[in-house]
Amino acid sequence: MATLTFLTSSPSAKPTLPTLTEPTLSLLSSKSRSLPFSLLKTSTLTLTQTQRLPPLKSSSSTPDDLSPITQISAPITLKSRLHNGDTLYGLFLLSFSPTIAEIAGLVGYDFVVIDMEHGPGSFSDTLPCLRALAATNTPAILRLPESSPVWAKKGLDLGPQGIMFPMIESAKEARKAVSYCRFPPRGIRGSAHTVVRASNYGMDAGYLSNYEDELLIMCQVESEQAIEKIDEIAAVDGVDCIQMGPLDLSASMGYLWDPGNKKVREMMRKAEKGVLESRRNGEGEGGGAFLAGFAMPHDLPDDLRTRGYHMVSGAVDVALLRNTFVEDVNKFKMGSMNGSDADNNDGDEEYWSE
């Protein structure tokens, strides 16, 4: 047994070396023994020289798997926040830019959807965006190009916190989507959990025990036919969210250029009512699905929240950039048409001053 006695820092204390017993000195390098410390009061840390570090654990590992020193609470996931009653606000990432993904995480979006359905990116483009979001502790949801076991398997192996299946038309298709996310015997997902990013490349000992509880499965309902069966889709075990698709819905109804049409809005209200009632009634083994959706110019984020949406996607990164660029160019061109005010430099001085 070796004992290390150290002192906590004080701004006024004179830098000295910590007091060490002889057995402890053998545990430290010569370089570490030469470091100065500011010291005030003593406390003792006892180490067993033969003690070995526990294997790397997921934050979701069960308490029995963790030592008292490394034990931490279960992670706060999108799914747990929804069950706690939170309303989440997110962004769709269509550019596949890791820089924009990082900024989105830093400014405080609750989640970012990496859009492989309509964006130009592949899985190799997705990975840097996932890493950028992880650096800001922002959950990522991956929207797949189509609902298939191969796309789901490759996407889930990258380790997003949520996965979104487009164009789900029935409860049968929803059950298939859930099966793509689960390992046998509960599903048909192929397994490479010993080496993929989702399990910290095999170092997350709790992955197989917890991945179902932590993964958010979202099914998009985007057609008039699907809305007729939306209560059945929402009741499927494993479906956590129903994501409304207003643009494709309007197209399926013959109003591609008019998503704000009265008939489209009425169909949207019918779908919303079906999901919310399913949730209130606790239908299905999962207790019903949460309601998620896109904001539109005629249907703003606060409107969705007021109507009971639990997840609101307020914008697409490309659209935000487009609007900002258009505004910037128009402002300059309008200024050149109206003439510049050479005598008014206050704005420039404020902009460039430090």
Q: What is the model's pLDDT at position 346? A: 56
Q: What is the model's pLDDT at position 20? A: 42
Instruction: List residues bridging with 241 in a β-sheet.
Output: 218, 290
Q: Which residues of 204-224 are buried (b: 16+ CB within 10 A; e: fewer)?
A: bbbbeebbbebbbbbbbbbbb
SS3 283: coil
Identify the burial level of 294 via C-beta atoms within 10 angstroms of its C-beta, where 0-12 means exposed, 13-18 middle and 19 or more buried: buried
CA 341/CA 159 separation, integer angstroms: 54
Q: How far apart are the first and last CA of the chain?
A: 57
Residue in 327, 320, 265 with CA at minimum distance from that of residue 298: 265
As averages over each run of 10 residues, the pLDDT of the chain (354 residues) reads: 43 44 40 36 36 37 43 75 96 98 98 97 97 98 97 98 98 98 97 96 96 97 96 95 96 94 96 93 76 95 97 97 96 80 54 43
H/E segment holding residue 344: none
Q: Which residues are catalytic?
A: 118
Q: For residues 115 and 150, is the Cβ–Cβ distance under 8 A?
A: no
Please state, rounded to an integer, the average pLDDT across all residues of the chain: 82
CA 239/CA 3 separation, integer angstroms: 54
CA 165/CA 177 separation, integer angstroms: 7
DSSP H helices, the chain, are 22-25, 30-33, 78-83, 98-107, 123-135, 149-157, 171-180, 207-214, 224-227, 230-234, 246-252, 262-281, 301-306, 317-338, 346-352
Q: What is the model's pLDDT at position 198? A: 97
CA 174/CA 179 separation, integer angstroms: 9
pLDDT tens by residue, 55-82: 333 344 444 444 443 444 557 999 999 9
CA 306/CA 303 separation, integer angstroms: 5
0.85 surpassed by pTM: no
Instruction: List residues bridging with 92 in a β-sheet.
Output: 113, 316
Q: What is the model's pLDDT at position 283? A: 66
Q: What is the model's pLDDT at position 330? A: 94
CA 284/CA 234 separation, integer angstroms: 8
Query: What one-letter code names the amino acid at 342?
Result: A
For 18-77, the DSSP string reads PPB-HHHHTTS-HHHHT--B---SEEEEEE-TT--PPPP--TTS-GGGS-TTT--PPP--
Q: What is the model's pLDDT at position 74? A: 58
Residues in the chain: 354
State how beta strands 162-165 and 241-244 pair: unpaired
298 alpha-carbon distance from chain centroid? 27
CA 238/CA 38 separation, integer angstroms: 55
Q: What is the model's pLDDT at position 209? A: 95
What Rg, from alpha-carbon coordinates, does the chain have?
Answer: 27
